Structure 1
Amino acid sequence: MFLFKRKTVLIIMFIGLLVFSIYLMLIGNYPRVIYKNSSAPDAEKVTALKTSEGDTANVKNGSEKDFFIDYRLERDRLRSQEADYLREIINNPNASQESKEKAQKDLIALAEKVEKEMMVENLIKAKGFEEAVIIISGDSANVIVKSNGLSQKEVAQITDVVTRTTGYPMDKITIVERK
């Protein structure tokens, strides 16, 4: 009877850990899009941010380009952590061969996803948009574009680029405008 309780407790702990991991993944993968008026007085305030060396760097708050830069940096940081985790599994002598093979496949899929995102972002910029960020998750793609109003032609251009590069159908592509 004691063994049954111990297994039950372990299963409950693993399920809780799984749910918590999924929650963390979801809140980290989607950007918080907030429309800001760039002519507001707060947009021109400059704050000093501490860098890792202790120096200060001046950054404009509310700068529209900061959203895209910050998002890319955060996305790259999370992807780097994910890649490091997968490499640890691959290089772990105690890991099973099956888990090593799955980690290798996941690492290759991650690299392909990063390549697609970078390609789509550059192609959208080549179409004349100032900034763009794409988030590929599962079987859908979300695109955030800097624009003061997207015409139907521009939406069609973005959709065409995403569809051709990722292979996703139009109903799996979401385009968000960021001013």
Structure 2
Amino acid sequence: MSVNKQTVWLVTMLSVMVVLSAYYIVTGPVEPARQVAQTAKETDSDVNVNIKPIDEPVSSDKKTEEMLEQANSDFFVGYQLQRSTLRQKMVEEYMQVLTNPKSSEKELEEANQKIQQLMKIDNQETVLEELIRKEGYKDAVVVTNNPHVDVIVQSEKLSKKQVVRLISLVRQHLQVDPQNVSVAYR
């Protein structure tokens, strides 16, 4: 018995979607990050960077710090889960076109290209998040909204040098203009 590659891929994606949906249901909804982003404008002489945290800790006792650490971890996991869920819904819509026998060849080709593009973006974001973690950050989330890219890192603060390094990583791996990259920390 020969199994079509698309069928195997569809079943795999649906399984991933079910697992992610179950996790989302268990953890509850996650608030999106505030639009506190910063800009990096490169000039001939220097880089002008404004650095602002997404949320600042109010208290410094040990129990509060542990709670903030857990909240930060949940924030990044939730944000990544929210991004994955949204992508899975988009892939599911395109898969419906692929599995519809009434779809034209043009629609099939377009849906296939969109799915491949989403997979490529998802892979690039995952690789970039891992590279950012290797830079010494506890966690990171990268969200691509063509042509803009948002990067949120888990850190107590960011220096201008760190922001420039993060923008450089995004530019190198996603071929994005530095003016279209926002970096924030939480």
- TM-score normalised by structure 1 residue count: 0.67
Distance 1:127 1:61, change over 3 A: closer
Rg bigger for which structure?
A: 1
Match of 2:125 in 1: 117
Say if 2:151 and 2:182, in contact at 8 Å, map to a contact too.
yes
User: How far is 1:60 from its partner?
Assistant: 8.8
Match of 1:103 in 2: 111
Aligned length, in residue pairs: 134
Q: Which of 145, 154, 173 matches 1:146?
A: 154
Match of 1:130 in 2: 138
Cα distance in 1 for partners of 2:69, 2:168 equals 34
Cα distance in 1 for partners of 2:80, 2:111 equals 24
Q: Percent identity between the aligned chains?
A: 25
Match of 1:37 in 2: 57
User: How far is 1:136 from its partner?
Assistant: 0.4
> Is the aligned partner of 1:64 residue 2:72?
yes
Say if 2:57 and 2:68, in contact at 8 Å, map to a contact too.
no
Match of 1:8 in 2: none
Report the RMSD for the aligned CA atoms in angstroms: 2.5
Q: How do 1:55-94 residues align onto structure 2 when only pairs under 5 Å count?
A: 63-94=71-102
User: How far is 1:37 from its partner?
Assistant: 2.2
Cα distance in 2 for partners of 1:138, 1:152 equals 25
Match of 1:156 in 2: 164
- TM-score normalised by structure 2 residue count: 0.65
Secondary structure of 2:111's match? helix
- Runs (5+) with no aligned partner, structure 2: 1-30, 35-53
Structure 2 counterpart of 1:35, which letter?
Answer: D
